Structure 1
């Protein structure tokens, strides 16, 4: 059991049973342990089986003392969480969203988490993965797809399978089939972050069994029709102010916090950038930073700090859109945007379902409109 000892208890028991050539019915008959209990252990529903149960299973599997001890240890191993980014230190204002997301994971096999770039989708997914890790005995895997630069699905499947202690075939088609079979047999939570291509994403998604995938996206995705969908909206004003206060500390008075938060329009990335600028530019007054944020047409320039940039985040999402949606974004620059543009952008999560346009997105739309100049018709000589 050199490899099985590294697995969570359910996977370890399943692997040992399979290696012994036994069905669950066989193991139940041989051990005297009920089918329900064995199935519960293998699926991770029973996290701390009784010592007598483990002894009966070990004897039925004809395990030696060392392998029996490894099985007992395996059921006490916390499932591995691999690839998770550093959690946002001042995660605030998303308690209801977190509850809804974790609730959806218990009811659906695929969950789409959509929203404007910088709205906090990755941070929310990471928080959910941490909260739910105990419900997935075969572990949690966080995969940063990085939009259109994501590797081939078969290559990702091989990497994921290796992290679960399995090897997939060398040919891509065989690797995808084997990956789906592996997901069917395990209980894994996949966080597939920043997806843009549903065709490349589909081979990674669970189709049966008890594995679950949470997919974050800033664009339109044609995911399975039975998937759940959640759209993140900007933070309410009190939560945005609280988040900024926690990031900056007591050095800035409440009135200054409120003024800075007002210019972030509930966008967590904007709040992080403003907090970074306050903490690192000691010679700057709050009034000076507020004045920068309030300059007409220059709002996005002020929302940049190091490698963090609201404008760059929006631009990445914009460039990955089809031209029809890019045109819809530019249409937001109009005093009264067309209803069709609002509906299209609500469909991909860039604006709220009730069609309220975030002022930061409006500023971005105005900037993109300046970039697209109508062609000047040539005149005949």
Structure 2
């Protein structure tokens, strides 16, 4: 208190010399009467440099007197530790994996340059964004000696935290007196940036709702930096770096599960069993932690038990829960933030038989115009519910696909789902026949292609579509065969025969012609059955090729 008292005596002495009252000095300096009074009485232990500078300016001190006052302030103003409500959470003791992403985050945070770019860690729920951010912050303590502050922005709540409130908490954690914090939103943000400019502090802004929530929290030029986690990519923020998370690699997922169950030496950790469990968990960090915790809490269980319980797709999401940890809940929060039309797109994509889709097929499933569907796909990618694929396509991670199927059953009636499935099958097979017709000499126009109509002006365009959509039209062929639409199966395989000679070695040609042989037999068409049997023999003789 001695240093604070000395500073207070200096302020009081200079004020008396200037003939000013407390009120006069407060008005001139813009500092509250209470703050000036606390300072003079030695009750203000950590006066901010801005406060003392404003008082010195209002007193119109000489350079020597000004230097004396500022020196007394520096002597008695140690930088405070962060307040408890902004304290960085403990590190994850068994943090495993994410080696490439961790290196990228730490390198970005260590890159000073006077204005570190904000870093956004984004991805779907359950991928470990917060764990990576907290672990990275704990590994950068030397870079940020003035503190690493944590704020949960509650972006997934129905009412995310007001950034105005977050500014106040961060300023208090940085040692600013409550009565010095401005009430005007713009001024409060400016004060936060000014404070951070003089510090080397890290702000970990967890679970951001959108760009607007974080803009007023970002440091300006100086030594401080911001690390943000969000389910959204926050593409509206300028000059940011991004680390987008997906499921762990196979090796990292296996290592994580081993780390979670390491305390139980009695568990069989054979690589095959580990891999089976992690694969059923979709390599999702949250699912792996849930599964490991479930195993540790059930002494009679083994990894083989988990494989048996998780194999059933219908109940897998139910099994992936442990206490308040639930993989379904992680997806439900994001789904709940969608508008009704985007929810429809999300659900209907669960009917796509292949790994990804474009706007045209999504339009068939939803009945929405392709340009509108394209925008909805972008929104779902932004939120992490879909992943971006090549050729402006989008697809699901495995566990999210299961969740989308659940929502389809729950929210769409059986009749609507079946109608959408029939439209999908009809469109894919008719379009496949149309594209394949470009490779049949003298082929007469066959099907009138359904909307949205795909145009194939040349063989290159037709081949590209057939290859890109191969998993989808093959899936439609399987569905048609299962539904007994034998004429569609035979006619589609017939149309594709000439094209199959241009794409030798595709691993599914034997299946295509095996389906058509069986369909021809069911139709009682002996001639076509014999013809397609020859197609099948040639496909099998062609060998595996590149099996793409």
Which residue pairs with 1:156 in the alignment?
Answer: 166
> 1:202, 1:277 → 2: CA distance?
40
Instruction: Name the SS for the 1:143 alignment partner.
Output: strand
Is structure 2 residue 282 aligned with structure 1 residue 257?
Answer: no
Quick check: 1:303–1:310 contact (8 Å CA) kept in 2? Answer: yes
Instruction: Name the SS for the 1:103 alignment partner.
Output: helix
Instruction: Name the SS for the 1:298 alignment partner.
Output: helix
Which residue pairs with 1:99 in the alignment?
Answer: 103
Which residue pairs with 1:43 in the alignment?
Answer: none
TM-aligned CA deviation for residue 115 of structure 1 = 0.7
Q: Return the match for 2:329 from 312, 321, 326.
A: 312
> 2:386, 2:261 → 1: CA distance?
28
Structure number with higher helix proportion: 2
1:24-173 aligned within 5 A: 63=72, 82-105=86-109, 106=111, 108-147=116-155, 148=157, 149-166=159-176, 167=178, 168-173=181-186
Distance 1:20 1:205, change over 3 A: same
TM-aligned CA deviation for residue 178 of structure 1 = 2.4
> 2:256, 2:99 → 1: CA distance?
13
Which residue pairs with 1:330 in the alignment?
Answer: 347
TM-aligned CA deviation for residue 307 of structure 1 = 0.2
> 2:4, 2:289 → 1: CA distance?
46
How many residue pairs get matched? 332
Comparing 171-180 and 120-129, the one that deviates more:
171-180
Q: Return the match for 2:244 from 228, 231, 252.
A: 231
Is structure 2 residue 218 aligned with structure 1 residue 205?
Answer: yes
Q: CA RMSD in A?
A: 3.5
Instruction: Name the SS for the 1:289 alignment partner.
Output: helix
> 1:270, 1:234 → 2: CA distance?
10
Instruction: Name the SS for the 1:333 alignment partner.
Output: helix
Comparing 329-338 and 355-364, the one that deviates more:
329-338
Normalised to the residue count of structure 2, the TM-score between the two structures is 0.54
> 2:56, 2:103 → 1: CA distance?
41
Quick check: 1:196–1:220 contact (8 Å CA) kept in 2? Answer: no
Instruction: Name the SS for the 1:284 alignment partner.
Output: coil
> 2:289, 2:121 → 1: CA distance?
21
User: Which is bigger in relative contact order (C-alpha 8 A, separation at least 6)?
Assistant: 1
Is structure 2 residue 401 aligned with structure 1 residue 362?
Answer: yes
Instruction: Name the SS for the 1:89 alignment partner.
Output: coil
Comparing 120-129 and 166-175, the one that deviates more:
166-175
1:172-211 aligned within 5 A: 172-211=185-224
Quick check: 1:16–1:61 contact (8 Å CA) kept in 2? Answer: no
> 1:136, 1:277 → 2: CA distance?
38
Deviation sequence 1:18-70 (CA, Å, 0-9, x none): 58969xxxxxx99xxxxxxxxxxxxxxxxxxxxxxxxxxx9996559xx75x7
Structure 2: segments with no counterpart, 5+ residues: 8-45, 58-62, 360-375, 417-548
Deviation sequence 1:298-351 (CA, Å, 0-9, x none): 111110000000000111122123445434432431214432466554444444
Instruction: Name the SS for the 1:142 alignment partner.
Output: strand
> 1:121, 1:113 → 2: CA distance?
6
Comparing 304-313 and 251-260, the one that deviates more:
251-260
Instruction: Name the SS for the 1:161 alignment partner.
Output: helix
Deviation sequence 1:190-219 (CA, Å, 0-9, x none): 111111132222211223333211111113
Structure 1: segments with no counterpart, 5+ residues: 5-10, 23-28, 31-57
